[in-house]
C-alpha cells in the first residue's frame, strides 16, 4: 500500500510525474483516487430500434474497416463496420484515432458501449468505448468509472492500473472494527474499494459509498468528541449570572431584544456559571444581532473584574467592534482596547456615578487625553465616531505595542478587541475569563484549527483554569452540517430579525432592465444613499470571457456616473489598502463601491441601501445572501438587484428563492440541496472527500457515526485497543479541518 508508484516498473517516469501533480505518490494514494462519476454501460443488448438514443453495450464482430482523411480540417475518421449476434450491421466511428484500426482486424469480436443512433441503413455509435470481448469487463458492459483526468492520463489508463492494483491488494487493513462493520452492514475496505472502482450494480455501489461516507463521518465524530472531552476536562472560572445587572443593561438598550437573542444570551450566561469551560457557537443570520449578545456575555464577565478578549479576522471588523463595544459600555467602568498591527487605541468607558477619569488613555496617548476621546467615542452620533477615529489614527504612531501589552498584563485594560495580534506569544492577561471569536470561518485554515487550542493556552494569568470560549458566525448553517462539523460545540441560533428591520427588496434583473436600475441608483445616491456593486473576478478570465472584471466595471461605472466618487476593492489590494477603501466608503467619501467577493462579512455601512450583484448566477445562494446582508442595516429601505444573463431554469429558480425569502437558514438548506455541502462549506477548506461531502446532509448517518464513536471512546478513550483507528484518526486530523 505504501509502495511508491515510481518504483513500479509498468509506470514510466512520464506517468509518475503526472500522477504526482495529482497528489498520487503511493499505491494507497492511487487506490483512494475515486471516480467522479460512472457511465452506465450495463445494458448489453442485440441491436434494435427500441434502444435508439439509449446508452447500450453490444457485442459484435468486425466485418470492414476504413480510414478517411479530411486534410483541410486536419481530421481523420476511423470507420469500422460490425455485425451483432443477429448479423445486424453497425457502424462505429472514431475521430483522430487512426490507431484504433490496428487493434481491430476483420473478424475481431469486441464490446462497444455508447449512445445508439440510426443513420440511413446503419445503426451507429460515435466515439464508443470498446474492448475485446475476450477480456474481462473494464471499459464497457457495466457501470464504468470516470475519473478526474489531466493531460497525459485518461480514465481508461487509470482503469487498467486500478484493476491490477486491486487484484494485488486483496486484504487491506481496515480501521473500522469488524464487529461494527457487521452491525451496520458495511463492506470491508477492500470490498468497498472494489465496488467503488468497478461496481457490480447500483445497489452495491450505494453500499460502498455508504461505507466510505461512514468511515469519514466516524473519524470526524471521533475527533470532535475527543476535542470535546479534552476541553471538558479543563476548568474555567465560574461567573455568577447577575440577573439585575443584565436586565438593567437590556432595558437601557435603544431597541428590544428578539426572542432568539434573549434565549441565546441566557444559554451563554448559564454556561458561564459552570466550572466546565463553555465552548459555544453563536450562529446568527446577517442582521440578527450577534454583537449585542456578545456584549451581554462580556458584561457579565467584566462586571466580576475578569478580562475579555474579542478576536476578529480583519482590522476593519476589529475597529467596528471597538466602536460598538465602546458605545454599549459607555456607562460602565471598563477600559476597552483595540490591538491590531495598525491600531493601538484605548477608550476608557466610565459611569457618570463613579466620575472615573481616562488615566489609562493619558498614559498611552498623552496628546489625545485633552481631546476627551472617551466621551466622543461613546457618542451615538456616527459622524462624531468617524472624527474621533481620524483623530486616533493621526496619533497612532505615539501608541506603542509594549505599553498596551503592559496594561493588558496588569489588568488595567478590561476588554481587548483585535485581530490575531491578540494571540501572539508576548501578550499575557491578568485574569482572562472569556474569549469571543467573530466570523471564525474567516480565519485561515491553520489559524482556525488551532484557535481552540490557543484558547486553552492563553496566558490568562490563571494556573488552574482556561477561559470560556464563544465563537460567532453570520453564515447560517443547516442543522445537519452543524451536527457534522461542529460536534465539539454547543449551538445557539439567532433566527429572528429585529422587529424594526425592513426586509431587503430583492429583484432579478435581466440585461434589458439595466438602464432602469442605473436610473434608480442615481435617485438613491441623490437622496444621500450609497451602493455596493459586486463582481465575481478581478480580471477577465480566458474561460469566462463574459464575466466583467472589477477593474473594468469600475471604469465603466465611472463613465456612467461621472458626478460620483467610486471606490474599488479586490483581492489584489494590500490589507491596508482594503482597510482604507472600506473606511472611505463608510465615511461617505465614495458613493459607489465596486468590489469582488472580498467585501467584508459583517461590516456595517448603515447608509448603503443598494446591493447590485453582477453575474449573480455564478454565486451560491448562501453567498448571495451574505452579500445582500451588507445593506439593510439602517433606517432606510434597502434593495438587492441580481443581474444575470443566464436563461437556464435552474439558475433562475435559485435566484427566485432569494426574491421570495430573506431567511438565511432556509436559503442555506436550499443551497445544500442544490449545490451540496462542498459548495456551502468549501470542500478544499474541509479536506473531506467528495463522497463524505455528499453525505453531510445525511442526518441519520451522522447520528449513527456519533453514537458509535461515543461507544468506542467510553471504553477506550485513547484508542489503545484500536491501534489502526488511532493511526487513521491522527492522519485524518492533519488532513481535515473541523471548525
For cell 481523420, the residue is: 76
Query: What cell numbers appear for 538 in the block?
Result: 478581478
Residue 196 confidence (pLDDT) above 90: yes
Q: Which has the minimum average pLDDT: 157-171, 445-459, 546-560, 708-722?
A: 445-459
For cell 467610486, the residue is: 566
Q: What is the mean pLDDT of residues 171-200?
A: 94
Give the confidence band of 737 by pLDDT, cuts at 50, 70, 90. Answer: low
Residue 488: predicted pLDDT: 76
Give the confidence band of 124 by pLDDT, cuts at 50, 70, 90. Answer: very high
Residue 441: predicted pLDDT: 53
Give the confidence band of 442 by pLDDT, cuts at 50, 70, 90. Answer: low
Query: What cell numbers appear for 371 in the block?
Result: 481631546
C-beta neighbour count of 93 within 10 angstroms:
17
Residue 390: predicted pLDDT: 42
Residue 297: predicted pLDDT: 97
Q: Are strands 344-348 and 122-126 parallel, antiparallel or unpaired?
A: unpaired
User: 3-class SS at 246?
Assistant: helix
Residue 451: predicted pLDDT: 55
Chain mean position to CA 102: 50
For the chain, what's the residue count? 739
Buried b vs exposed e over 635-674: b needs ≥16 C-beta within 10 Å? ebebbbbbbbebeeeebbebbebbeebbbbbbbbbbbbee
In the CATH scheme, what is the code of domain 243-494? 3.40.50.300
Residue with more model confidence, 551 or 450: 551
Residue 231: predicted pLDDT: 86
User: For residue 302, how many C-alpha atoms fall within 13 Å in the half-sphere facing its CB?
Assistant: 25
Residues with Cβ within 8 Å of 97's Cβ and at least 6 positions away in sequence, in order, are 76, 78
pLDDT digits (tens, 9 = 90+) for 607-629: 999 999 998 988 888 889 989 98
Query: What cell numbers appear for 500 in the block?
Result: 424594526
Distances (CA, A) of 234 to 247, 273, 275, 276: 31, 15, 9, 7
Residue with more model confidence, 621 or 487: 621
C-alpha span between 200 and 207 (Å, rounded): 11
Residue 698 confidence (pLDDT) above 70: yes
User: For residue 598, how many C-alpha atoms fall within 13 Å in the half-sphere facing its CB?
Assistant: 22
Task: Could you please state the CATH topology (level 3) that the domain comprising 505-662 is classified under.
Answer: Rossmann fold (3.40.50)
Domains 243-494 and 505-662 agree in fold: yes
Residue 261: predicted pLDDT: 96
pLDDT digits (tens, 9 = 90+) for 138-172: 999 999 999 998 888 999 999 999 999 999 887 88
Residue 733: predicted pLDDT: 79
Residue 386: predicted pLDDT: 39
Q: Which has the minimum average pLDDT: 114-118, 286-290, 480-484, 535-539?
A: 535-539
**Following DSSP, what letter does each residue of 616-672 receive, concatenated?**
GGGS-HHHHHHHHTTS--SSS--EEEEE-----HHHHHHHHHHHH---HHHHHHHHH
Q: What is the mean pLDDT of residues 528-536?
A: 91
DSSP label at 546?
T
Cβ(206)–Cβ(187) below 8 Å = no
Residue 350: predicted pLDDT: 53
Residue 214: predicted pLDDT: 95
pLDDT digits (tens, 9 = 90+) for 34-90: 999 999 999 999 999 999 999 999 999 999 999 999 888 889 999 999 999 999 999
Residue 21 confidence (pLDDT) above 50: yes
For cell 480583519, the residue is: 314
Residues with Cβ within 8 Å of 645's Cβ and at least 6 positions away in sequence, in order, are 511, 546, 615, 617
Residue 582: predicted pLDDT: 86
Q: Which has the minimum average pLDDT: 401-405, 443-447, 579-583?
A: 443-447
Cβ(363)–Cβ(344) below 8 Å = no
Residue with more model confidence, 711 or 535: 711
Note the pTM of the prediction, 2 decimals.
0.74
- Among 209-213, 352-356, 424-428, 442-446, the range with the most confident prediction by mean pLDDT is 209-213
Residue 315: predicted pLDDT: 83
C-alpha span between 685 and 738 (Å, rounded): 9
Residue 326: predicted pLDDT: 92
Is the alpha carbon torsion for 424, 427, 431, 432 positive or negative?
negative
Instruction: Please report, in angstroms and rounded to a whole number, the separation of the first and last CA atoms in the chain.
Output: 31
Residue 262: predicted pLDDT: 96
Cβ(61)–Cβ(109) below 8 Å = yes
C-alpha span between 265 and 493 (Å, rounded): 11
Give the confidence band of 677 by pLDDT, cuts at 50, 70, 90. Answer: low
**Following DSSP, what letter does each residue of 374-443 receive, concatenated?**
HHHHT-S-HHHHHHHHHHHHHTGGG--HHHHHHHHHHT---EEEESGGGGSTT---SSEEEEEEESGGGS
What percent of the chain stands above pLDDT 70? 85
Q: Are strands 639-643 and 608-613 parallel, antiparallel or unpaired?
A: parallel
Q: What is the mean pLDDT of residues 481-497?
A: 81
pLDDT digits (tens, 9 = 90+) for 553-590: 899 999 999 999 999 988 777 777 887 888 899 899 99
Cβ(704)–Cβ(484) below 8 Å = no
Residue 398: predicted pLDDT: 41
Buried b vs exposed e over 508-524: b needs ≥16 C-beta within 10 Å? bbeeeeeeebeeebeeb
C-alpha span between 724 and 632 (Å, rounded): 53
Tell me the backbone φ, ψ of residue 608, rounded to 5 degrees.
Answer: -80, 125
H and E: helices and strands count for the chain: 28, 23
Residue with more model confidence, 679 or 344: 344
C-alpha span between 596 and 598 (Å, rounded): 5
Q: What is the mean pLDDT of residues 437-441?
A: 73
Q: What is the mean pLDDT of residues 211-234?
A: 90
Query: What cell numbers appear for 376 in the block?
Result: 466622543
Name which of 90, 98, 140 is nearest 116 in CA terms: 90
Residue 308: predicted pLDDT: 95
pLDDT digits (tens, 9 = 90+) for 245-300: 999 999 999 889 999 999 999 999 999 999 999 999 999 888 888 999 999 999 99
The arrangement of strands across the sheet holding 639-643 comes to 505-509, 639-643, 608-613, 530-534, 592-595, 566-569
Residue 213 confidence (pLDDT) above 60: yes
What percent of the chain stands above pLDDT 90? 54
Domain boundaries, the chain: 39-146, 243-494, 505-662
Give the confidence band of 517 by pLDDT, cuts at 50, 70, 90. Answer: very high
Query: What cell numbers appear for 564 in the block?
Result: 460620483
C-alpha span between 246 and 257 (Å, rounded): 12
Name which of 124, 132, 67 is nearest 96 in CA terms: 67
State the angle between helix axes of 290-302 and 259-273 in degrees (0 to 180), rounded to the nearest 10. Answer: 30
Cβ(487)–Cβ(221) below 8 Å = yes
pLDDT digits (tens, 9 = 90+) for 95-104: 999 999 999 9
C-alpha span between 437 and 474 (Å, rounded): 12
Q: Which CATH architecture has domain 39-146?
A: Beta Barrel (2.40)
Give the confidence band of 540 by pLDDT, cuts at 50, 70, 90. Answer: very low
Amino acid at each position: 500500500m505504501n509502495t511508491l508508484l515510481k518504483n513500479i516498473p509498468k509506470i514510466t517516469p512520464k506517468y509518475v510525474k503526472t500522477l504526482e501533480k495529482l497528489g498520487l505518490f503511493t499505491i494507497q494514494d492511487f487506490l483512494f483516487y475515486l471516480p467522479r462519476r460512472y457511465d452506465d454501460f450495463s445494458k448489453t443488448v442485440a441491436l434494435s430500434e427500441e434502444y435508439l438514443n439509449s446508452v447500450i453495450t453490444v457485442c459484435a464482430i468486425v466485418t470492414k474497416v476504413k480510414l478517411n482523411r479530411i486534410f483541410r480540417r486536419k481530421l481523420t475518421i476511423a470507420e469500422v463496420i460490425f455485425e451483432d449476434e443477429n448479423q445486424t450491421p453497425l457502424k462505429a466511428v472514431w475521430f483522430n484515432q487512426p490507431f484504433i484500426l490496428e487493434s481491430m482486424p476483420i473478424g475481431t469480436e469486441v464490446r462497444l458501449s455508447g449512445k445508439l443512433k440510426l443513420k440511413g441503413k446503419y445503426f451507429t455509435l460515435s466515439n464508443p468505448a470498446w474492448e475485446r470481448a475476450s477480456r474481462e469487463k473494464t471499459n464497457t458492459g457495466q457501470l464504468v468509472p470516470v475519473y478526474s483526468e489531466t493531460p497525459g492520463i485518461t480514465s481508461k489508463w487509470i482503469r487498467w492500473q486500478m484493476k491490477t492494483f486491486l487484484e494485488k491488494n486483496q486484504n487491506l487493513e481496515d480501521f473500522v472494527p469488524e464487529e461494527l462493520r457487521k452491525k451496520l452492514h458495511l463492506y470491508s475496505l477492500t470490498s468497498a474499494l472494489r465496488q467503488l472502482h468497478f461496481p457490480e450494480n447500483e445497489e452495491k455501489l450505494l453500499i460502498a459509498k455508504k461505507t466510505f461516507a461512514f468511515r469519514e463521518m466516524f473519524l470526524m465524530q471521533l475527533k470532535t468528541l475527543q476535542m470535546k472531552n479534552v476541553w471538558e476536562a479543563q476548568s474555567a472560572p465560574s461567573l455568577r449570572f447577575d440577573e439585575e445587572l443584565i436586565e438593567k443593561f437590556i432595558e437601557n438598550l435603544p431597541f428590544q431584544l428578539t426572542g432568539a437573542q434573549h434565549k441565546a444570551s441566557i444559554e451563554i450566561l448559564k454556561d458561564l456559571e459552570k466550572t466546565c469551560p463553555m465552548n459555544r457557537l453563536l450562529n446568527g443570520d446577517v442582521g440578527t444581532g450577534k454583537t449585542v449578545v456578545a456584549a451581554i456575555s462580556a458584561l457579565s464577565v467584566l462586571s466580576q473584574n475578569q478580562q475579555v478578549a474579542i478576536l476578529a479576522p480583519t482590522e476593519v471588523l476589529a475597529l467596528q467592534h471597538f466602536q460598538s463595544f465602546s458605545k454599549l459600555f459607555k456607562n460602565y467602568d471598563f477600559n476597552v482596547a483595540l490591538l491590531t498591527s495598525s491600531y493601538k487605541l484605548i477608550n476608557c468607558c466610565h459611569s457618570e456615578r463613579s466620575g472615573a477619569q481616562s488615566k489609562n488613555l493619558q498614559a498611552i496617548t498623552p496628546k489625545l487625553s485633552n481631546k476627551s476621546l472617551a466621551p466622543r467615542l461613546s457618542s451615538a452620533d456616527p459622524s462624531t465616531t468617524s472624527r474621533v477615529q481620524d483623530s486616533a489614527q493621526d496619533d497612532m504612531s505615539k501608541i506603542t505595542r509594549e505599553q498596551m501589552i503592559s496594561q493588558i498584563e496588569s489588568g488595567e485594560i478590561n476588554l481587548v478587541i483585535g485581530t490575531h495580534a491578540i494571540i501572539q506569544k508576548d501578550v499575557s492577561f491578568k485574569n482572562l475569563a472569556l474569549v469571543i471569536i467573530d466570523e471564525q470561518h474567516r480565519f485561515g485554515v491553520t489559524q482556525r484549527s488551532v484557535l481552540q487550542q490557543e484558547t486553552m493556552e492563553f496566558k490568562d494569568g490563571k494556573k488552574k483554569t482556561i477561559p470560556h470560549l464563544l465563537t460567532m458566525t453570520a453564515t447560517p448553517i443547516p442543522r445537519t452540517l452543524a451536527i457534522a462539523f461542529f460536534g465539539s460545540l454547543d449551538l445557539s441560533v439567532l433566527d429572528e430579525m429585529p422587529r424594526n428591520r425592513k426586509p431587503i427588496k430583492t429583484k432579478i434583473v435581466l440585461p434589458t432592465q439595466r438602464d432602469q436600475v442605473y436610473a434608480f441608483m442615481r435617485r438613491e445616491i441623490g437622496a444621500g444613499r450609497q451602493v455596493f456593486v459586486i463582481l465575481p473576478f478581478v480580471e477577465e478570465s480566458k474561460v469566462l470571457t463574459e464575466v466583467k472584471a472589477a477593474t473594468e466595471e469600475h471604469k465603466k461605472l465611472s463613465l456612467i456616473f461621472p458626478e460620483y466618487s467610486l471606490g474599488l476593492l479586490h483581492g489584489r489590494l494590500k490589507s491596508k489598502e482594503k482597510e482604507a477603501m472600506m473606511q472611505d466608503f463608510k465615511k461617505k467619501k465614495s458613493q459607489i463601491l465596486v468590489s469582488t467577493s472580498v467585501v467584508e462579512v459583517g461590516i456595517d455601512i448603515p447608509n448603503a441601501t443598494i446591493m447590485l450583484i453582477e453575474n449573480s448566477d455564478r454565486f451560491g445562494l448562501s453567498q448571495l445572501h451574505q452579500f445582500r446582508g451588507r445593506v439593510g442595516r439602517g433606517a432606510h429601505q434597502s434593495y438587492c438587484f441580481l443581474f444575470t444573463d443566464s436563461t437556464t431554469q435552474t439558475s433562475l429558480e435559485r435566484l427566485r428563492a432569494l426574491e421570495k425569502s430573506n431567511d438565511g437558514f432556509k436559503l442555506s438548506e436550499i443551497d445544500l440541496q442544490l449545490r451540496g455541502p462542498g459548495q456551502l462549506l468549501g470542500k478544499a477548506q474541509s479536506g473531506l472527500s467528495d463522497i463524505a461531502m455528499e453525505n453531510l446532509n445525511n442526518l441519520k448517518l451522522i447520528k449513527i457515526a456519533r453514537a458509535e464513536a461515543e461507544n468506542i471512546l467510553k471504553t477506550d478513550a485513547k484508542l489503545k485497543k484500536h491501534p489502526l483507528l488511532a493511526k487513521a484518526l491522527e492522519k485524518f486530523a492533519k488532513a481535515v479541518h473541523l471548525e
